[in-house]
Amino acid sequence: MSNEKNFEEKLLRLDEILSKFDNIADMPLSLDDALSLYDEGMQLIQDCTVTLENAQKRIKERSSFDEE
């Protein structure tokens, strides 16, 4: 079984990370923690973007197939 998160799980994790930055005044982060969360968030954004681009390609391929 794979530990890879699906698209929705990645979005939820990204939301958690953004919430931590939004609430930084209430719960300060160390610089190391902030940088680690930033790196994780950027990777999640990249992963989600690739997933969305692949989905868009699949939709376009199927739409062009239906037009023939």
Quick one: average pLDDT of 1-24?
91
The pTM is what?
0.81
Query: Could you tell me how far CA 47 lies from the centroid of its own chain?
Result: 6
pLDDT digits (tens, 9 = 90+) for 29-65: 999 999 999 999 999 999 999 999 999 999 999 888 6
Q: What is the DSSP string of 1-65?
A: ------HHHHHHHHHHHHHHHHTTTTS---HHHHHHHHHHHHHHHHHHHHHHHHHHHHHHHHHHH
| Residue 11 located in a structural domain | no
Q: Which domain holds residue 47?
A: 30-68
pLDDT of residue 2: 58
In a domain, 2, yes or no: no
* Domain total of the chain: 1
